[in-house]
Amino acid sequence: LAKTTQPISMDSYEGQEVNITCSHNNIATNDYITWYQQFPSQGPRFIIQGYKTKVTNEVASLFIPADRKSSTLSLPRVSLSDTAVYYCLVGERRTNAGKSTFGDGTTLTVKP
Amino acid sequence: DADVTQTPRNRITKTGKRIMLECSQTKGHDRMYWYRQDPGLGLQLIYYSFDVKDINKGEISDGYSVSRQAQAKFSLSLESAIPNQTALYFCATSDLSGTGENIQYFGAGTRLSVL
């Protein structure tokens, strides 16, 4: 079971790019990296998933180096509404349940 | 996500009472999950089910039981509630998309207080 380590909290300002790094030193060959966003008193929401190199969607980018021992979620030009907790999960895609955990996440606070 | 509905949204109960939290989904997903979240912490997996006949324990199943009544329904029971089960409970569903992403979709949560 791949353990993940993220910073507990980060601060940013509106309009800035935010990069949140997750360490997963014992990631397995079949593991994928998935990021979720959670607002207070709401369920987490999927942001992005990747296996290697770079993945981009309309919300964020995910950078994964060749050794895959870490990954970086990049949020371009954040706004106040991006204030949330961000979770990094590592697990095998087809049997993800029970083999990956949410951890405590990174609390991102965006200031005006 | 409105496609995953949890009832009730809030519940206050007393120690020793039996309580059931219900989850229904209209996404047509085979996989369903129950998580618990304590204040300021991440989500812990209680139980998960890959289909109606497949139910598995998660990280913290002690004191909980589940029932998968149909593909769309997955209930969580606390047979004899205790105060340290006070938490926010989330139901989630997932399925393998064409690209195999296994994304989880969460309900709005049930806030449970055990007095």
Contact A93 B102 (CB under 8 A): yes
E strand or H helix at A34, and its extent?
strand A31-38
Q: What DSSP letter does each residue of B60-81 carry, written as one string? A: T-TT-EEEEEETTEEEEEESS-
Cβ–Cβ gap B43/A44 under 8 Å: yes
Residue of A nearest to B40 (CA): A104
pLDDT the model gives residue B41:
87
Between chain A and chain B, how many beta carbons pairs sit less than 8 Å apart? Answer: 65
Q: What is the pLDDT of residue B101?
A: 64
Give the Cβ contact number of residue B10 at 10 Å: 9
User: Could you report the per-residue pLDDT of B57-91, keeping only the tens digit for each?
Assistant: 998 999 999 999 999 999 999 999 999 999 999 99
Considering only CB atoms, B45 lies closest to which of A45, A98, A105, namely: A98
Residue B63 and residue B61: Cα distance in Å, rounded?
A: 6
